[in-house]
Structure 1
Amino acid sequence: MVFEEKMILNGEPEDDPLDTVRDKCAQAEHCIHTRAKLEDCESRVGSKSETAEDCTEELFDFLHARDHCKKVFNKIISFIQI
């Protein structure tokens, strides 16, 4: 409710809270490893003119790690608000 009121009074917020949480989670230690594997795969696939390889598995691993962090973060926030 407060967020919506701020949007009405001030226009669009500069930073989306979800993007902020995702950025922090992506920088967490357990996400760095999966992000590095994704970036390595993207570099490898991008350097080849013809390949059947894609980085779907690496992308899903990274998103899973990032979303797990977000769930933990949300539990902490809900605990603080109680």
Structure 2
Amino acid sequence: MSSKMIPVVKAEEAVEAEEEELVDPQVELREVCSQKADAQNLWAKYQECNDRVNSRSNTAETCEEELIDYIHVLDKCVNKDLFKRLK
């Protein structure tokens, strides 16, 4: 008699209830932030460095600094609004 009082949910039913596709707000914000002028300038510097490094057969140069600068600006921009969008 106590088994009738406990509701049973099958896995298929639970999946159907969660059909709404989750969207990561960080991905959306990164896209918006990557279009801003300061991010565009740093991306161009990174691409220029990357092209320079790839054009050489033997070089110790890396574009790590340029990439870190670009990601830092992106993350700073994203962090302004990210936590407002999280549930």
Aligned length: 71
Deviations 1:29-76 (A, max 9, x none): 11111111001011110111110000000000000110111122236x
Q: TM-score, normalised by structure 2?
A: 0.67
Show structure 1 runs of 4+ deviating over 4 A: none
Of the candidates 33, 36, 39, which is equivalent to residue 41 of structure 2?
33
Q: TM-score, normalised by structure 1?
A: 0.71
Matched, 1:9 2:21: no
Report the secondary structure of 1:52's partner residue. Answer: coil
Q: Which has the higher contact order (CA 8 A, sep 6+)?
A: 2
Point out where structure 1 has 5 or more consecutive residues left out of the alignment.
Answer: 1-7
What is the aligned-residue identity percentage? 35
Distance in 2, matches of 1:47 and 1:16, equals 36
Report the secondary structure of 2:82's partner residue. Answer: helix
Q: Larger Cα Rg: Structure 1 or Structure 2?
A: 2
As a proportion of its length, which structure holds more helix?
Answer: 1
Deviations 1:2-45 (A, max 9, x none): xxxxxx622754x5322111111111111111111001011110
Distance in 2, matches of 1:40 and 1:54, equals 12
Point out where structure 2 has 5 or more consecutive residues left out of the alignment.
Answer: 1-16
Report the secondary structure of 2:18's partner residue. Answer: helix
